Every structure is written in structure tokens, then in C-alpha cells.
Structure 1
Amino acid sequence: MAKEFLGWVHADPYAISARNPENNKGSWTVLIKKHKTENKPKKSAKPDKLDLEILYTKFKKIGE
């Protein structure tokens, strides 16, 4: 089982390494690469200028 598990870890592109703790031979610790997304804008990114024309037309219609 240990050879099969280590083979799976080496074949997996996202797994870095695996180890078997001394005190519990049935458990495994696998280190996994964290997927980093690129070219994705941050959620807090705001446009440079606020387009108020949409609000003006909306509230102008409400005020009439």
C-alpha cells in the first residue's frame, strides 16, 4: 500500500510530497500545491471614475 500511495503522490501534478507519521502507520500527510489564480482583478478594485449619469436619469424619472 505504501508504494502505491507514494506512486500516486509522485504522479499527481498538485501533490508535492507525502509522509507517513511514526505513531500512526495508517495515516498519511500529503502536501498539496496551492492553485494561484492570475490575471483576475481584485474584488475591491473600483473604476477610476463613477458614472453618475445613470443615477441622474433614474432619480429624474422618480422626481417627475
Structure 2
Amino acid sequence: MNAGLRSYGTRYGEFINLQKSSGNTINRKVLAGLAEWEPFSFKAVVDVVKIKGGENKGLQEGENKGL
């Protein structure tokens, strides 16, 4: 999983923290399988986690997203 994340420019620790804050409930074993056998699906999960995790992080820090 680490190699797959690095190929998309994300560190493992950063991804896990974003995953927790994004509400993604896919466990690490499944993510590792996706990284190995379904790289395009894994990339989609990484993108969603980055977007959702970043949104939640920004809202927790008090950023105003125009709401």
C-alpha cells in the first residue's frame, strides 16, 4: 500500500490520517489488496480520501468555505 500511495504522491501516515477524518471505513487489508490488484480503483479511493479528508480538516481548523 505504501508503494501505491507514493506513486500518487501521498505518504502512508498522511493518508491514514486523512482516511480517518474523511469517514472512509475501508480497512487497511482491503486497501492493500486494491493497491496491488486494482490500481485504478485504489487511485479513486486515494482521490476521494484526499478531497473529503481535506474538506473536514479545513472545517475543523475554522476555515470558511463560503457557507
Q: TM-score, normalised by structure 1?
A: 0.30
Q: Of Structure 1 and Structure 2, which has the larger fraction of its residues in helix?
A: 2
Provide TM-score, normalisation by structure 2: 0.29
Q: Which has the higher strand share?
A: 1
Kindly name which structure, 1 or 2, has the bigger radius of gyration based on alpha carbons.
1
Structure of greater relative contact order (alpha carbons < 8 Å, 6+ residues apart): 2
